[in-house]
């Protein structure tokens, strides 16, 4: 089933060179944060380049339910009139975050220290994902949570009446957990401290500063220590959302493996906490150049020029790099299947609790397409081959990145690759089909 309707089966076929300009949508992480921080601010936040994928639209709706005024002005252009830190109203209805772990976890953090209750739910994928990683640190503030067995949604949170600031060391590398704690810390008096032994994406810290909070970041023996001073007055900002490197990954990887391709992907974020895929592809021998480096919306961005790279070689990706490419392993495993030699991806166990168990989803689909691989809980190994046979139906498991990864592989496999449901692609990359078609990729919808 697609996230919000009937399944949309899709097939990708061997395609000629991919050429042209790929304008990928706005960054998903920054889009969620722009709406949430806008809702927690006084005055108007004006956002341009917002990702209008279902995940972000669900967050916009949630912010309305908590009392913010959220208006779409034009394509990617939105205005938010916030209620201020601690100003969230109690929602009258259940908050449905659809497919989005980022949406629900950040919103839970944002409401956790306001004395209101809210009930959260999502689709079958989201309702099977662990929320204990959020409710454990939120309990330290005084927030109560009642959910289903195993800490799953649907779940009701009761915000702390008299929140206390916390000091929390992340037990897993997760920007969602870090962000939930920092957002909860906004309405607690005093300093809330988060320590992350491994650095994860830092958009929350950057944006909190941009909205007027005091956030100090220090490298310590325990890891990266972030200190937020509670109860700031956040004020509405202009946010120009850069293009999403995690979405850029799909046309970039496609161009690297489809013979004769040459594409440009303008204005992609090159935030070092998101850059692991590009570092890895360069090590594999990819022909990618980063042109016109500049700063947009507080993030480093560049225009990517990507050319077909016939001599890609397998590499080992170290554990320390995993967080900076956590969403890109599925499509990296596709490139690995088309490279010479073996690619060993280490530190990947967090992939097992994403929109799907992404190691299992990729492993079963790649095997069905004739690729050899091995997996342990935390290491994924893929053996490259001259041409992947394909000719299989793969299962997207309500996971946008699994669907797009197999459609990229189908552009170079001997026989077409079918994805049972491309519907989830709309959660993060609603323009994927049109964009890939414009580059020359043959991807079609099949009769259901
Ligand atoms: C995100 C954090 C990551 C990532 C997700 C977006 C964020 O999740 O996979 O797509 O915006 O903070 P984890 O925190 O579970 O690693």
Q: Is the CB of 179 under 6 A from ligand 1?
A: yes
Q: How far is CA 282 from the centre of its chain?
A: 22
DSSP H helical ranges for 82-141:
101-111, 132-141
Q: What is the pLDDT of residue 297?
A: 77
Q: Which of 58, 174, 181, 274 to mutate to test the pocket of ligand 1 (most atoms within 8 A of CB)?
A: 174
Paired tokens of 136 = 């454990």
- What confidence tens digit (pLDDT) does each residue in 188-223 have? 999 999 999 999 999 999 999 999 999 999 999 999
Q: Is the CB of 199 under 6 A from ligand 1?
A: no
**Distance from residue 432's CA to the centre of ligand 1 (Å):** 20
Mean pLDDT, 10 residues at a time, the chain of 448 residues: 74 97 98 98 98 98 98 98 98 98 98 98 97 98 97 98 98 98 98 97 97 98 98 98 98 99 97 98 98 91 98 98 98 99 98 98 98 98 98 98 99 98 98 98 92
Residue 238: strand pairing partners: 46
| Whole-number Å distance between alpha carbons of 438 and 17 | 12
**Distance from residue 102's CA to the centre of ligand 1 (Å):** 6
**Atom of ligand 1 lying closest to residue 327 CA:** 9
Return the residue whose CA atom lies nearest to atom 11 of ligand 1: 29
Q: What is the pLDDT of residue 4?
A: 54
Q: Is the CB of 428 under 6 A from ligand 1?
A: no
Phi, psi dihedral angles at 101 (to 5 degrees) = -65, -40
pTM recorded for the entire structure: 0.98
Cis check: omega of the bond before 154, within 30 degrees of 0 = yes
Instruction: Respond yes or no: is residue 327 known to be catalytic.
Output: yes
Q: What is the pLDDT of residue 3?
A: 47
Residue 20: strand pairing partners: 263
Number of CB atoms found within 10 A of residue 6's CB: 9
Q: What is the pLDDT of residue 352?
A: 98
| Whole-number Å distance between alpha carbons of 331 and 401 | 8
DSSP H helical ranges for 309-431:
329-337, 358-368, 400-410
CB 124 within 8 A of CB 152: no
Torsion of the alpha carbons at 324, 27, 259 and 403, rounded to the nearest 10: 90
CB 412 within 8 A of CB 387: yes
In angstroms, how far is the first alpha carbon of the chain from the final one? 11
Q: What is the pLDDT of residue 280?
A: 98
Q: Which helix (H) or strand (E) holds 436?
A: helix 432-439
Q: Where are the beta strands (DSSP E) in 8-83?
A: 10-13, 19-21, 44-48, 69-74, 77-81
Nearest Cα residue to 167 out of 220, 101, 111, 234: 220
Q: Is the CB of 174 under 6 A from ligand 1?
A: yes
**Distance from residue 174's CA to the centre of ligand 1 (Å):** 6
Q: Where are the beta strands (DSSP E) in 316-360?
A: 316-317, 342-346
| Whole-number Å distance between alpha carbons of 251 and 157 | 40
The contacts of residue 136 (CB under 8 Å, 6+ apart) are none
**Atom of ligand 1 lying closest to residue 323 CA:** 16
Paired tokens of 152 = 């799953």
Q: Of residues 55, 96, 202, 327, which has the active-site annotation?
A: 327
| Whole-number Å distance between alpha carbons of 302 and 27 | 14
The contacts of residue 57 (CB under 8 Å, 6+ apart) are none
CB 74 within 8 A of CB 92: no
**Distance from residue 17's CA to the centre of ligand 1 (Å):** 33
Q: Is the CB of 350 under 6 A from ligand 1?
A: yes
| Whole-number Å distance between alpha carbons of 309 and 259 | 8
**Distance from residue 109's CA to the centre of ligand 1 (Å):** 14
């Amino acid at each position: 089933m697609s996230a919000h309707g009937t399944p949309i089966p899709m097939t990708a076929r061997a395609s000629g060179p991919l050429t042209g300009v790929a304008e990928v949508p706005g960054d998903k992480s920054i889009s969620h944060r722009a709406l949430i921080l806008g809702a927690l601010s006084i005055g108007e936040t004006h956002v341009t380049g917002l990702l209008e994928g279902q995940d972000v639209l669900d967050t916009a709706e949630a912010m309305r339910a908590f009392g913010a005024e959220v208006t779409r002005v034009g394509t990617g252009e939105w205005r938010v009139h916030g209620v201020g830190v601690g100003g969230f109203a109690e929602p009258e209805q259940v908050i449905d975050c659809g497919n989005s772990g980022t949406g629900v976890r950040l919103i839970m953090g944002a409401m956790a220290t306001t004395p209101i209750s809210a009930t959260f739910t999502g689709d079958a994928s989201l309702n099977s994902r662990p929320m204990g990683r959020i409710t454990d640190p939120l309990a330290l503030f005084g927030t109560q949570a009642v959910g289903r067995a195993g800490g799953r949604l649907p779940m009701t949170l009761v915000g702390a009446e008299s929140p206390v600031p916390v000091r929390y060391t992340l037990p897993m590398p997760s920007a969602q957990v870090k962000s939930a704690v920092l957002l909860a810390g906004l309405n607690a008096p005093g300093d809330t401290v988060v320590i992350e032994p491994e650095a994860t994406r830092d958009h929350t810290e950057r944006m909190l500063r941009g909205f007027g909070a005091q956030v100090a970041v220090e490298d310590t023996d325990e890891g990266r220590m972030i200190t937020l001073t509670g109860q700031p007055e956040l004020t509405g900002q202009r946010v120009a959302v850069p293009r999403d490197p995690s979405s850029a990954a799909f046309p970039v990887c496609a161009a690297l493996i489809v013979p004769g391709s040459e594409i440009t992907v303008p204005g992609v974020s090159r935030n070092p906490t998101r850059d692991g895929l590009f570092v890895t592809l360069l090590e594999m021998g990819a022909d990618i150049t980063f042109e016109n480096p500049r700063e947009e919306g507080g993030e480093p961005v560049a225009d990517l020029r990507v050319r077909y790279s016939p001599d890609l070689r397998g590499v080992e990706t170290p554990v320390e790099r995993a967080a900076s490419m956590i969403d890109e392993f599925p499509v990296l495993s596709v490139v690995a299947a088309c490279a010479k030699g073996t690619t060993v991806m280490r530190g990947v166990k967090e992939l097992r609790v994403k929109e799907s168990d992404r190691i299992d989803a990729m492993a079963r689909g790649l095997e069905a397409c004739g690729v050899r691989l091995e997996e342990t809980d935390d290491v994924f190994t893929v053996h490259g081959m001259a041409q992947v046979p394909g000719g299989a139906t793969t299962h997207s498991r309500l996971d946008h990145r699994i669907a797009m990864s197999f459609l990229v592989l189908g552009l170079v496999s001997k026989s077409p690759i079918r994805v049972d449901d491309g519907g989830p692609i709309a959660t993060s990359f609603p323009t994927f089909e049109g964009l890939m078609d414009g580059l020359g990729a043959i991807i079609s919808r099949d009769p259901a």
